[in-house]
Chains A and B, each alone.
Chain A
């Protein structure tokens, strides 16, 4: 069974630009969560989607948004990029919603904002 895939793997953007990251979950998984990982803050929860609906969202500004499609694939968007948005963005999928179950993480997208 193929794992969680994320594209692109690396991205360099300029302040003020916007970026869209993509995540394809494991086949059959309907829950997709997004996390931001930085050396200073560690892994922080961004949001979770299940059946195309956002179930919950972490403490991030409205510049961070996401969506999920009917095939469970998910995208996250960051608008008006800031230097502090430089991070590894990780997507995780799970068969059911909620954090009570193991999460399967993708390799991440390394975003650098200059």
Chain B
């Protein structure tokens, strides 16, 4: 079965810099990857979806890439702000097994 790996350690970034989060998958190349944001005590909020045949997707200050050779997706937040501090979850899907989530990376933007 698919396994999604994210750096479980907290990522500290200075305000204004670009935060880059990594998501690696271990088995087959998923048809798409999704990124979610989760704040404490709340459900995840959808951010971006990128399909296998797409190299890059952008939405405002967010950018996600999908590299099937490296089996990796990178999630970038440019001009980061303290309000961007949250846990970011990567998820893969494509079959009949629902979304497979990574454990998330806790991002801290320091003013």
Contacts and interface: CB of A to CB of B under 8 A. Distances in A.
A2 interface: no
B98 A33 contact: yes
A58 B44 contact: no
Interface residues of A, number: 26
Contacts of B97: 45, 56, 58, 99
Contacts of B41: 107
Q: DSSP class of A's interface residues: helix, strand, loop or mixed?
A: strand
Contact of B102 (A42, A48, A106): A42
Interface string A14-56: 0000000000000000000101000000111111100000011
A90 interface: yes
Contacts of B76: none
Contact of B43 (A99, A101, A102, A106): A106
A81 interface: no
Contact of A99 (B36, B89, B99): B99
A55 B96 CA distance: 8
A99 B98 CA distance: 6
Contact of A103 (B42, B99, B104): B99
24 contacts: A4-B43, A33-B99, A35-B98, A42-B101, A42-B103, A43-B99, A43-B101, A45-B100, A46-B98, A56-B98, A58-B97, A58-B98, A90-B43, A90-B44, A92-B43, A99-B93, A99-B94, A99-B95, A99-B99, A100-B31, A100-B94, A102-B49, A103-B46, A106-B43
